[in-house]
Amino acid sequence: MYLICFFCVLNEFTTNKVIMMTSEECYGYEYLDEKDKEKIDALNNPKAVKVIDRFLKICKPAKVVVIDDTQEDINYVRQLSIDLGEEIKLEMPGHTIHYDSYFDQARDKGNTRLLVPVTEKEKYGTHINTIDRDEGLKEILDIMDGCMKGKLVVIRFFCLGPTNSRFSISALQITDSAYVAHSEDILYRKGYEQFKRLEGSEDFFYFVHSAGELTEKNVTKNIEKRRIYIDLEENRVFTVNNQYAGNSLGLKKLALRLAINKALKENWLAEHMFISAVYTLDKSRKTYFLGAFPSACGKTSTAMVPGNAIIGDDIVYMRVDKEGIPKAVNIESGIFGIIKDVNPKDDPEIYKALTSPCETIFSNVQITDEKPYWLGMGDDIEIPEIGINWTSSYLGEWKTGKKDEKGNELSFSHPNARYTLRIEELENADEALHDPDGVKVSAIVYGGRDSNTSVPVYQSFNWSNGVFVGAALESETTSATLGQAGVRKHQPMANLDFIVVPLGQYFQSHLNFVKEVKEENHPLIFSTNYFLKDENGKYYDEILDKKIWLLWAEGRVHGDYDAIKTPIGYIPKYEDLVDLFKGAFDIDYEKSRYEAEFSIRVGKFLDKFDRIEKFYANEKDMPEEFFFELEEQRKKLLEAKEKYGTDTISPFLFS
């Protein structure tokens, strides 16, 4: 009834005779047959040849296949993942399930390190996990020596950003995981033909991944030797002894790190942001927004607000065009999303796609009778009491009440379980998804989790102040994540985990970005907070109220609304929110709620700025503008407190 053995490996890929190539003119590619060698030759790229040659010799696979952009090759990869047991077909056509190791269920921050010359370590600050470059290279290459023995290796070519575009970055992937290769087919654009357009240029990223030695259940064995090392000097990433996509899919957050460094040098921005088209209520106008939100702060739900359209939910590249207009693209064409709490009420578009026939990979959810089940999928869904899940490769079949070795009850689906699907499968996908010119960026939203300080939405005074708003972004933990609620974690631009350059340089690049942008095209910057609570601990906002804050921000972009100037920025007028709530939801927005939500809590903001100042105290080369904005905000808050004689200032006092 249940598939326990989803990890077996086909013998044909470990017993095939290896084709030896003796000619010195054949690059020493003893692992490639003539057809695959021709595919490499057609790239006319000496660096790619050198990279492939070197790492095949180091990793020592049994067989290699080179995949181009043809549908035949792409279909081969998907079927290969199924044949190897890395994915299993489910009842719904196009759906498969993949399981990672029990010990490989999330991004491994501790073993993700930047290779940095020991003499330069100090300049990178305390937020970056580094290792001496020479030491790290020796370690990782020793670990990777022979790591692909007995395996079939897939060589892939992808494009980050739309193809044939000034945003395009070519990427070469070498992996012994068919699941990784298949995932990238869904998440990224074909890149073999784009690689040819390089015309021999060395300007590309490359990634070498291995799941490493496997157990009898076909999951990574040497977890203690898991390493994810990023080399900015060579624009490359090595990742070994892992299977979870966040650690093994180099083109995602690992490539974001490479792109941030590249962008800094070339005066553009690579950011951890969504792109969404915000429509007016009558659908007469749409405006493109970018948004940066730390985990559990509403990023995906904001990108997917009903009535709007989505281009991307995770990573953008932003450049200024010849007309002085900031443009952005989604570097991906798919979504690798957390599936927990995706249900018909809160995420109708995603839920519909996940329950329809289309190419979708589920990971680390429960499977019973070839059907997937996940946490928060809907109150009316009855979860089977027995099945296969993320614990099965380690602890066997799951059933209700089963506990781990420490006596903790095991959930039927992992809280970080994922889905992988193409954005085109969503009915609200925007038509500009693959536009090589990108879309005009009119607004940027920074959103954090904050129970007692900030208002639901406000607009920064200008670009420089907006950069400060992003740099001061915080996220408040919940008891569900760390066991202690209310701890403020600093998350500048929701990007701290991925910034691989000194923070001062990173913020300066944001300040510099608009120097080539015509003033009338400067994106407006907004801050949102969906998590403000009343004195009883109840949220003021309902889940879909974020639509109102976006509608107001969209109107501000086009001058539809006046606003109230406060010490922190511009906030909405009460009467405008009344109209928006009535028009969108046909509900009355009460005056008492407005006053509670949009009062300026002076003391709380001053406490926040103290935390921010302390966080940045030891960062080198911080822009002067940052501390100017910090002091200006403090000054305005103190002046307002003195003027109105209260620590909590009603919005009606400012109007």
The pLDDT of 529-544, averaged and rounded, is: 93
pLDDT, tens digit, for every residue of 395-408? 999 999 999 989 99
DSSP-derived 3-state class of residue 14: helix
- Co-location of 238 and 156 in the same domain: yes
Q: Is the pLDDT of residue 476 over 90?
A: no
Q: Is the pLDDT of residue 444 over 60?
A: yes
Query: Residue holding tokens 């340089």?
Result: 505
* 259 within a domain of the structure (yes/no): yes
- Co-location of 202 and 79 in the same domain: yes
Domain boundary among 214, 246, 267: 267
Give per-residue burial for 70-92: e unless 16+ CB within 10 Å, then b.
Answer: eeebbebbbebbbbbbbbbebeb
- Co-location of 196 and 296 in the same domain: no
Predicted local distance difference test score (pLDDT) of residue 27: 43
- Co-location of 291 and 402 in the same domain: no
pLDDT, tens digit, for every residue of 242-270? 999 999 999 999 999 999 999 999 999 99
* 4 within a domain of the structure (yes/no): no
Look over the chain and give the mean of its residue pLDDT values, rounded to a whole number. Answer: 92
The pLDDT of 623-627, averaged and rounded, is: 96
* 222 within a domain of the structure (yes/no): yes
Alpha helix segments (H runs only) across 514-562: 546-557
**Six token digits for residue 394:** 């380690």
CA neighbor of 366 nearest in space, from 417, 402, 425, 307: 417
Task: Round to whole Å and give the CA distance between 579 and 641.
Answer: 30
* 96 within a domain of the structure (yes/no): no
pLDDT, tens digit, for every residue of 416-428? 999 999 999 999 9
- Co-location of 520 and 547 in the same domain: yes
CA neighbor of 569 nearest in space, from 437, 441, 472: 472
- Co-location of 506 and 631 in the same domain: yes
The pLDDT of 429-449, averaged and rounded, is: 97
- Co-location of 375 and 322 in the same domain: no
Task: Round to whole Å and give the CA distance between 528 and 475.
Answer: 12
pLDDT, tens digit, for every residue of 559-599? 999 999 999 999 999 999 999 999 999 999 999 999 999 99
Q: Is the pLDDT of residue 654 over 50?
A: yes
Predicted local distance difference test score (pLDDT) of residue 300: 86
- Co-location of 256 and 279 in the same domain: no
Task: Round to whole Å and give the CA distance between 364 and 378.
Answer: 18
Task: Round to whole Å and give the CA distance between 18 and 336.
Answer: 35
Domain boundary among 424, 443, 465: 424
- Say if residues 291 and 483 touch (Cβ distance below 8 Å): no
The pLDDT of 292-303, averaged and rounded, is: 89
- Say if residues 613 and 455 touch (Cβ distance below 8 Å): no
Task: Round to whole Å and give the CA distance between 447 and 457.
Answer: 9
- Co-location of 277 and 180 in the same domain: no
- Co-location of 318 and 376 in the same domain: no
The pLDDT of 299-326, averaged and rounded, is: 95
Q: Is the pLDDT of residue 179 over 90?
A: yes
Predicted local distance difference test score (pLDDT) of residue 80: 97
CATH number of the domain within which 627 lies? 3.90.228.20
Cα torsion 208, 214, 217, 220: sign: negative
Annotated catalytic residue within 59, 147, 159, 297: 297
Predicted local distance difference test score (pLDDT) of residue 29: 61
pLDDT, tens digit, for every residue of 337-392? 999 999 998 889 999 999 999 999 999 999 999 999 999 999 889 999 999 999 99
* 7 within a domain of the structure (yes/no): no
What is the 8-class DSSP label of residue 497? G
Cα torsion 328, 334, 339, 342: sign: positive
CA neighbor of 60 nearest in space, from 213, 288, 223: 213
Task: Round to whole Å and give the CA distance between 262 and 269.
Answer: 9
CA neighbor of 543 nearest in space, from 346, 379, 352: 346
Task: Round to whole Å and give the CA distance between 493 and 471.
Answer: 6
**Six token digits for residue 307:** 């009535």
- Say if residues 526 and 457 touch (Cβ distance below 8 Å): yes
Q: Is the pLDDT of residue 3 over 60?
A: no
Cα–chain-centroid distance for residue 67? 26
Predicted local distance difference test score (pLDDT) of residue 655: 74
The pLDDT of 522-538, averaged and rounded, is: 96
pLDDT band at 216 (very low <50, low <70, confident <90, very high): confident
* 169 within a domain of the structure (yes/no): yes
Predicted local distance difference test score (pLDDT) of residue 128: 87
CATH number of the domain within which 409 lies? 2.170.8.10
Task: Round to whole Å and give the CA distance between 242 and 254.
Answer: 14
Q: Is the pLDDT of residue 125 over 90?
A: no
- What's the structural domain count of the chain? 3
Domain boundary among 392, 424, 456: 424
Q: Residue 342: what are its φ and ψ, rounded to 5°?
A: -75, 115
Domain span at residue 406?
336-424
- Say if residues 367 and 6 touch (Cβ distance below 8 Å): no
Kindly state the percentage of the chain with pLDDT values over 70: 94
CA neighbor of 619 nearest in space, from 431, 445, 490: 490
Predicted local distance difference test score (pLDDT) of residue 478: 59
* 99 within a domain of the structure (yes/no): no
For 8, 143, 218, the CA distances from 59, given in Å and listed in that order, are 21, 9, 18
- Co-location of 451 and 529 in the same domain: yes
297 is catalytic: yes
Predicted local distance difference test score (pLDDT) of residue 175: 98
Query: Residue holding tokens 């073999």?
Result: 192
pLDDT band at 484 (very low <50, low <70, confident <90, very high): low
The pLDDT of 297-309, averaged and rounded, is: 92
- Say if residues 578 and 589 touch (Cβ distance below 8 Å): yes
- Co-location of 43 and 23 in the same domain: yes
Q: Helix-strand-coil percent breakdown of the chain, rounded to 5?
A: 35, 20, 40
Q: H or E element: which one contains 59?
A: helix 46-59
Predicted local distance difference test score (pLDDT) of residue 6: 31
* Half-sphere exposure in the Cβ direction for 591 (13 Å, CA): 2
CA neighbor of 13 nearest in space, from 112, 118, 85: 85
Instruction: Show Cβ contacts of residue 574 under 8 Å, excluding neighbours closer than 6 positions.
Output: 589, 591, 594, 651, 652
* 5 within a domain of the structure (yes/no): no
Alpha helix segments (H runs only) across 520-623: 546-557, 574-585, 591-598, 602-616
Cα–chain-centroid distance for residue 19? 40
CATH number of the domain within which 147 lies? 3.40.449.10
What is the 8-class DSSP label of residue 250? I
